């Protein structure tokens, strides 16, 4: 079962889901200028090296994309792997504390971006699996990012976390559905897999067992396929 977003705030019976994507410009890496020192009247450039940003992480080549399609079976049968990686989205959202964020916060990690709400029954059903997935695979290469579109604030979503015993999932907020609209999310739940540059690789509409062996195999493949070249 899937809940539609009516006026971005209440569940309505789901009919037809129109999935689209707005193509925005990619995000370019910027080098940090060398620090200046005031140790002498004539400031000199510090001898400390300028931080070096990581090389661009690999995108999926066609062979890796085809292998990911082959892993879309069982609980992952509805996972749609895009023919081409969709560009980076820059619209913002918020942390649980309300601090502004955007997807660059997850750069360098494969990210499972899950759009959900407390009023969405199938969303609530899949949250324990997402919590277990974050516990088992979360780290420097992978992150589960549940993005609540509830308008009731962090308190409502946090209360739900506590009610069902979620321990490892972070909480992110999109009360105005800013990022949800950017990703053309018209029904819930929707889960989007992003590569290490924040680009959409695949999407699954509806709830799924994200802690299943099939889901973990797909994610492990995506992690390995997008790792920096040696």
* pLDDT for the residue 46: 36
- Summary mean pLDDT of the chain: 81
Would you say residue 32 has pLDDT above 60? no
Is the pLDDT score of 171 beyond 60? yes
Percent helix, strand, coil in the chain, to 5, is 25, 25, 50
Select the more confidently predicted residue: 47 or 200: 200
Residues 185 and 5: beta-carbon distance below 8 Å: yes
CA angle 45, 47, 49 (to 5 degrees): 105
Q: In this predicted model, which residue has the larger pLDDT, 57 or 36? A: 57
pLDDT score, position 90:
80
Note whether residue 148 is domain-resident. yes
Contact 73, 189 (CB under 8 A): no
More confident: 7 or 156: 156
Name the residue with higher pLDDT: 44 or 135. Answer: 135
| Percent of the residues in the chain that have a pLDDT greater than 70, as a whole number | 76
Whether residue 22 lies inside any domain: the answer is no
Q: How confident is the model at residue 54 (pLDDT cuts 50, 70, 90)?
A: low
pLDDT tens track for 87-126: 888 889 999 999 999 999 999 999 999 999 999 999 999 9
Q: What is the total count of domains within the chain?
A: 1
CB 112 within 8 A of CB 143: yes
Examine residue 133 and state whether it is found in any structural domain, yes or no. yes
**Inside any domain, residue 166:** yes
Q: Inform me whether the pLDDT recorded for 173 exceeds 70.
A: yes
- Burial pattern 10-47, b for ≥16 Cβ within 10 A else e, equals ebeebeeeeeeeeeeeebeeeeeeeeeeeeeeeeeeee
Is the confidence at residue 40, as pLDDT, over 50?
no
Helices (H), the chain: 62-71, 121-137, 154-164, 178-182, 213-225
Q: Is the residue at 91 inside a domain?
A: yes
Residue 48 lies in a domain: no
Look at residue 40 and tell me if it is in a domain. Answer: no
Range name among 30-44, 66-80, 88-102, 169-183 with the lowest pLDDT average: 30-44
Q: Span 73-89, mean pLDDT? A: 93
Confidence at residue 126, expressed as pLDDT on a 0 to 100 scale: 96
Q: Is residue 4 part of a domain?
A: no
The two structure tokens encoding residue 222: 């995506």
Give the range among 83-97, 120-134, 192-206 with minimum mean pLDDT.
83-97
Domain that holds residue 209: 60-225
CATH of the domain at 114: 3.40.30.10
């Amino acid at each position: 079962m899937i809940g539609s977003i009516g006026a971005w705030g209440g569940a309505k019976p789901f009919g037809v889901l129109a999935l689209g994507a707005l193509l925005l410009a990619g995000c370019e890496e910027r080098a940090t200028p060398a620090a200046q020192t005031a140790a002498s009247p004539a400031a000199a450039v510090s001898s400390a090296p300028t931080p070096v940003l990581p090389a661009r992480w690999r995108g999926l080549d066609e062979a890796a994309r085809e292998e990911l399609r082959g892993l879309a079976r069982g609980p992952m049968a509805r996972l749609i792997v895009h023919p081409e990686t969709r560009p980076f989205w820059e619209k913002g959202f918020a942390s649980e504390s309300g601090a502004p964020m955007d997807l660059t916060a997850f750069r360098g990690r494969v990210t499972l971006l899950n759009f959900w709400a407390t009023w969405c029954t199938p969303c609530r059903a899949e949250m324990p699996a997402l919590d277990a997935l974050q516990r088992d695979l979360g780290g420097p290469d992978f992150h589960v990012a549940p993005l609540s579109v509830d308008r009731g604030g962090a308190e409502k979503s946090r209360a739900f976390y506590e009610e069902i015993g979620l321990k490892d999932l972070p909480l992110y907020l999109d009360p105005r559905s800013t990022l949800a609209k950017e990703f053309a999310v018209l029904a819930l739940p929707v889960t989007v897999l992003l590569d290490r540059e924040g680009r959409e690789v695949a999407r699954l509409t509806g709830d799924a067992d994200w802690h299943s062996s099939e889901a973990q195999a797909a994610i492990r493949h995506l992690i390995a396929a997008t790792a920096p070249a040696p």
